[in-house]
Structure 1
Amino acid sequence: MAGFNAATIVLALRVAQTVLALITLGLTAYVADWWGKYWHAISPSQINFLVFASVWTLFPALLYLILVPWRFSETKLHHKFAILGMEVLTMLFWFAGFVALAVFLSDRVCFGHVCSAAKASAVFGAFEWLLFAGTTAMAMLHVLRTRGRTSHGGKADPNLNIQEGV
């Protein structure tokens, strides 16, 4: 039986992050659409922020975090601090988003499918935050382990490259 290496674990986490971002995007888009149809108003900023966090996760964040280590590992784009920065920023977006929505929903009288979708999006947002907290911790450990080394020129650890796990 083959053991899991770091690249396989990172790839599995990236797939889970993508799936949760898509689920959260669908749920929050449904709530935002319902809010506009039935309240004839702009949806709450907490819902809008989770829509933003989902789109941010899918396009700039995961696109960078998957493609750059996979295809551009020998370029300046693949830098350990750039990867850490993207991880930290995305993790903070998810933390702020799910907490804001949970607080918003905690003191509202809420029922029906739209309420269930809003609550589910807060829960999926929390799980997404946990996944990004895990990958952020991995990136932080890599930065701390390679502190002071000049042999890689600041590049990320080749063991964390996606291409080795595929």
Structure 2
Amino acid sequence: MTVDISYNKTLKYALRALQLIFAITIMGIVGYAIHVFRGHTVYEHFVYGNFYDYYGVPDAWGFLLFCAAWTVVIIIFYSITGIILADNKWIGYVRVAVEAVAVLSWLAGFIAVAVQISNDTCSTGNSSCGMLEAATVFGALEWLLFMVTATLTVRTTKLGGGGEHKTASTNH
């Protein structure tokens, strides 16, 4: 008798709990890094004229914050659909699409912040750089968690027609 881990609800709940904890951690870290970041104005010289340009918080930081908020929405979505729409065939395809968007968003988010850390956005002595390094690590771990849950979701949808199964599959 073989038990398929894609039907293990305890594992799914544990992974979703980790995703939620990491998302809240990332929201706190990135939110504080955005708060302490000091934008600055630079006078730019060009052939066609000069102007003042303001350098604020990089967009990648905001995108990583969005990814964390999106994860909280996903956890709420999975909690509701797991209870109300557990046997709906089409909800499985929606779950796969939501997982795919999350996987790609987290991949883009943590890579974008890592690139921002490696160039001159982070100056030495800036306290937001250390926080962003931690947020990047948590973002990479969040991406790995979503890779695992996406695989489990695809397997559940493919093998079971989209719904959550209440029994483990057996092979004789």
- Report the TM range for the smaller structure's normalisation: 0.7 to 0.9
Q: CA deviation at 1:9?
A: 0.2
Aligned counterpart, 1:163: none
> Where does 1:1-166 land on structure 2 (aligned, <5 Å)?
6-35=8-37, 38-39=38-39, 42-59=56-73, 61-74=74-87, 79-108=91-120, 109-146=123-160, 154-159=161-166
Instruction: Tell me how far apart the structure 1 counterparts of residues 111 and 88 of structure 2 sit (CA, whole Å).
Output: 37
3-state SS of paired residue (1:124) = helix
Structure 2: give runs of 5+ residues left out of the alignment: 41-54, 168-172
Q: CA deviation at 1:103?
A: 1.1
3-state SS of paired residue (2:33) = helix
Structure 1: which amino acid aligns with 2:111? V
Q: Deviations along 1:58-85, whole A, 9 cap, x unmatched?
A: 12x1111222112332457x62101111
Q: Which structure has the larger Rg over C-alpha atoms?
A: 2
3-state SS of paired residue (1:52) = helix
3-state SS of paired residue (1:87) = helix
In 1, are the aligned partners of 2:30 and 2:132 still within 8 Å (CA)? yes
In 2, are the aligned partners of 1:17 and 1:131 still within 8 Å (CA)? yes
Instruction: Tell me how far apart the structure 1 counterparts of residues 23 and 109 of structure 2 sit (CA, whole Å).
Output: 12
Instruction: Tell me how far apart the structure 2 counterparts of residues 30 and 12 of structure 1 sit (CA, whole Å).
Output: 27
Structure 1: which amino acid aligns with 2:31? A
Instruction: Tell me how far apart the structure 2 counterparts of residues 118 and 93 of structure 1 sit (CA, whole Å).
Output: 17
Aligned counterpart, 1:150: none
Aligned residue pairs, count:
147
Q: CA deviation at 1:145?
A: 2.4
Q: CA deviation at 1:115?
A: 1.1
3-state SS of paired residue (1:155) = coil
Q: Deviations along 1:105-152, whole A, 9 cap, x unmatched?
A: 112344343111111001100000000000001112223324xxxxxx
Structure 1: give runs of 5+ residues left out of the alignment: 147-153, 161-166
In 2, are the aligned partners of 1:14 and 1:66 still within 8 Å (CA)? no
More helix per residue = 1
* TM-score normalized with structure 1 length: 0.79
